[in-house]
A and B are shown apart, each in its own frame.
Chain A
Amino acid sequence: MTSQFAYAPEAAGSSGSGGQVPGGNGADDLFAAAEAAQERRRRTVSALLRVLVYAGAALTALVLAFLVGYILINGVPYLTPSLFEWEYTSENVSLMPALVSTLVMAGLSLIMAVPVGVGSAVYLVEYAPRGSRFVQLVRTTTETLQGIPSIIYGLFGMLFFVTALQWNLSLLSGACTLAIMVLPVVMRTTEEALLAVPDAYREGGFGLGAGHLRTVFRCVLPTAIPGILGGVILALGRCVGEVAALLFTAGTIAQVPNFVGEGAFAVFDSCRTLAVHMYVLASEGLHVNETYATAVVLLIMVVGLNLLATFAATKMKKGNDDD
């Protein structure tokens, strides 16, 4: 049982032929010697790794703080009332029309994306036979959609909604493009939320004699609401920040669609969202201060939505833990 080791630890300074050890116990001693030499090396390597890890985290935190801080410091002083005036003119680049357009655009795309996204998640989780070919197909396409960059959505929207359907550069074209873009976000989060609902809820529903549909709507969906809401808010965030998908679908006209004058036909008006507005300002380079201020408004919206989504997620977690 005694081990017959013959090795020469580099750390002990005897490379090559030196240090052949015939004895059994000698192996253990050599091991101890190697370890003692290793000790200093180990400390150095570990300290270095620790420094690297902390540096990576610190760098991330610094970049975040600097980016947000820089935008806020330069932008907040220019958040003037004139920036929120109803009319956009070339002298006063008010962001109000863009803000309103953003809300209308995001609302419209969510009205389309949320029912479809939630419905398909319900189908995948509650109805479809597990592992069916259709389910696999849907999952693959969802993953594909999630990976497609927004410029491709923009191109598609331009070719399909703007050109083929002849909706022109319009609120509707933009909203439809965004709806497809955020569809996988809504689907994914809803799916996760539904999967997190304990099976006992479903059994409870069926046990009371409720039908499938009733069980889904009365027992499963209400429990999953915070999770779904989190996904909807994430989708909203993407709509608010999107530019590339909108440049060639919704256009860059800095006016609120004229719902008062045209009624529902105003969805065929071109308009620019806040993010597009900011891009136009930045690329013109004439209104730097207003650009900063617009960036602040965008940041605040996104941060607010983020906080909301986090809040919804925690609520979801808590709700499930309580039961």
Chain B
Amino acid sequence: MTNAVMERTDAAVVPETGKSPVAFAAPVSEFSHTAVPVETASKMEVRDLDLYYKSFHALKGVNLTFPKNQVTALIGPSGCGKSTLLKSLNRMNDLVEGCRVEGSITLDGSDAYREIDVNNLRRRVGMVFQQPNPFPMSVYDNVAFGPRTHGIRKKSDLDDIVEQSLRDAAIWDELKDRLKKNALGLSGGQQQRLCIARALAVRPEVLLMDESTSALDPISTAKIEELVGELKKSYTVIMVTHNMLQALRVSDKTAFFLLGEMVEAGDTDTVFTSPNDARTADYVAGRFG
């Protein structure tokens, strides 16, 4: 039990619990929090990251900072390592056989690979995949899966979370009468927004989006882009996209990758209009021209 955690418990939880601070605070103080949120501009940081798939050097010495409450876009041609980087932020690369990571990734200053439990990391760093992947169960159960996983079992709590998450994903009005229906019956765009709601339901701090609109029609894509603009008020969003215009429309920061190296990162406007590196200029221009 560190002092920092005690302070946090006192400062953050007890005053807000209102009715029974003692009963509530006591058990909480037993738990060890790995991270102390610090109000800094950076939410996640990648330092000297090298990633290998067996002998293939997929990411080479990447350094990148993801600022809080901003949308960062990762762009670059296929196979440049942008998706690989995204998947290493919530350790989904652990699933890949022969994947090895060197360097450090931190979330609020804590090492994501050494100091934070992997399940906890994945709760705090949510992910929306390229293909909508709702579970073959009801809409409600899809959204409630995460909260249930993390120990929330009371029906009324779950109801609140489900409703709020669906509202946050701007799909509540469409789905509120179909909560008990199988999620696989929804359209592709609805499925993807349901997946966003599902990710939001565990109250993540960071949201990773892996080309999350590439399988969708233009209208659904526009809805999700709009949604991302809303989400950044509460979350730090990191998105991989093939669509230059999307990066330009949605993101605040952009990082350009080529052959496993991060070539350039900065404000989106700067990267697109006056890039420092010739390769960035070529890529951006090529896509536009």
A13 touches B24 (CB 8 A): yes
* B26→A13 contact, CB < 8 A: yes
A20 to chain B, nearest CB (A): 6
Q: Least Cβ distance of B36 to chain A in Å?
A: 11
Q: What is the CA–CA distance of A32 and B19 in the complex, to the nearest angstrom? A: 19
Is B263 an interface position by the 8 A CB rule? no
Q: Check A31–B164 contact: CB distance below 8 A.
A: no
Q: Are B26 and A9 in contact (CB under 8 A)?
A: no
Among listed B83-91, B96-104, B155-163, interface-contacting one: B155-163
Residues of B within 8 A of A20 (CB): 17-19
The answer to whether B168 touches A12 (Cβ under 8 A) is no
Would you call B154 and A8 a contact (CB within 8 A)? yes
Whether A35 contacts B19 by the Cβ 8 Å rule is no
Closest to A37 in B: B151
A19 and B19 form a contact (CB under 8 A):
yes
Query: Cα distance A11–B16 when bound, in Å?
Result: 18
**Cross-chain contact B28 with A18 (CB below 8 angstroms):** no
Residue of B26, B149, B164 touching A4 (CB-CB under 8 A):
B164
Contact of A3 among B26, B27, B117, B234 (CB under 8 A): B234
Knowing A13-B27, A21-B17, A34-B152 touch, does A39 contact B160 (C-beta < 8 A)?
no
In the assembled complex, A33 has its CB within 8 A of some CB on chain B: yes
B203 interface neighbour in A23, A31, A38, Cβ under 8 Å? A31
Measured CA separation A128–B20 after assembly (Å): 75
Most B CB atoms within 10 A — which of A1, A21, A30, A35?
A35
Given known contacts A18-B17, A26-B12, A35-B151, A7 and B157 CB-to-CB distance under 8 angstroms: yes
Minimum CB–CB distance for B29 against chain A, Å: 10
List chain A residues, Cβ under 8 A from B31.
33, 36-37, 39
Q: Which of B1-32 contact A (CB under 8 A)?
A: 12-13, 16-20, 23-24, 26-28, 31-32
Q: Is the CB of A1 within 8 A of B23?
A: no
Task: Judge whether B123 is part of the interface by a CB distance below 8 angstroms.
Answer: yes
Q: Is A283 an interface residue (CB 8 A)?
A: no
Is A10's beta carbon under 8 Å from chain B? Answer: yes
On chain B, the residues within 8 Å of A41 by CB distance are 151
A14 within 8 A of B: yes
Which A residues are in CB contact (< 8 Å) with B20? 14, 18-19
Residues of A within 8 A of B234 (CB): 1-3
Q: Is B51 interfacial (CB 8 A cutoff)? A: no
Q: Is the CB of B17 within 8 A of A19?
A: yes
CB-defined contacts of B154 to chain A, threshold 8 Å = 7-10
B28 contacts A3, C-beta separation under 8 Å? no
Chain B CB within 8 A of A156 CB = no
Q: Is B120 an interface residue (CB 8 A)?
A: yes
B201 to chain A, nearest CB (A): 10
Q: A129: CB under 8 A from chain B?
A: no
Q: Is the CB of A19 within 8 A of B24?
A: yes
Interface residue? B262 (CB, 8 A): no
User: Does the CB pair B123–A33 fall under 8 Å?
Assistant: no
Q: Is A214 positioned at the interface, with any CB of B under 8 Å from its CB?
A: no
**Docked-complex contact B161 and A10, CB < 8 angstroms:** no
**Is the C-beta of A5 less than 8 angstroms from some C-beta in chain B?**
yes
B152 and A7 form a contact (CB under 8 A): yes
Known contacts: A13-B27, A36-B32. The answer to whether A5 contacts B164 by CB under 8 A is: yes
Q: CB distance B19 to A9 under 8 Å?
A: no
CB-defined contacts of A132 to chain B, threshold 8 Å: none
| B54 close to A (CB within 8 Å) | no
For A195-218 the 0/1 string (1 means CB < 8 A from B) is 000000000000000000000000
Whether a CB of chain A sits under 8 angstroms from the CB of B233 is yes
Any chain B CB within 8 A of the CB of A143?
Answer: no
Q: Cβ of B16 and Cβ of A22 under 8 Å apart?
A: yes
A90 — which chain B residues lie within 8 A by C-beta?
none
Closest to B28 in A: A33
Question: Hey, which chain A residues are within 8 Å of B164, CB to CB?
Answer: 3-5
Q: How far is the CA of A21 from the CA of B23 in the complex (A)?
A: 14
Q: A1-B230, A2-B234 are in contact. Are A35 and B13 (CB under 8 A)?
A: no
B231, A18: Cβ atoms closer than 8 Å? no
> What are the residues of chain A within 8 A of B158 when measuring CB–CB?
7
Query: Is residue A25 contacting chain B, with contact meaning CB distance below 8 A?
Result: yes
Q: Per-residue 0/1 for A118-147: is the Cβ within 8 Å of any B Cβ (1 yes, 0 no)?
A: 000000000000000000000000000000
**Contact present for A29 and B12 (CB under 8 Å):** yes
> Do the beta carbons of B117 and A17 come within 8 Å of each other?
no
A37 to chain B, nearest CB (A): 6
B153 within 8 A of A: yes
- Inter-chain contacts of B203 with A (CB < 8 A): 3, 5, 27-28, 31
Q: Which of B17, B26, B149 has the most CB of A within 10 A?
A: B17
User: In the assembled complex, how far is the CB of residue B156 from the closest CB belonging to chain A, in whole angstroms?
Assistant: 7
* Residues of A close to B119: CB separation below 8 A: 42
Q: Is B33 interfacial (CB 8 A cutoff)?
A: yes
Contact A31 B233 (CB under 8 A): no
Inter-chain contact B23/A29, CB cutoff 8 Å: no
Told that A9-B151, A11-B153, A14-B24 touch, could you supply 5 new A-B pairs with CB distance under 8 A? A3-B203, A14-B23, A18-B20, A21-B17, A28-B205
- Please list the residues of chain B having a beta carbon within 8 angstroms of any beta carbon in chain A: 12-13, 16-20, 23-24, 26-28, 31-33, 117, 119-120, 123, 149-154, 156-158, 160-161, 164, 168, 202-203, 205, 230-231, 233-234
What are 5 A-B interface contacts by the 8 Å CB criterion? Answer: A6-B160, A9-B153, A19-B24, A20-B18, A21-B17
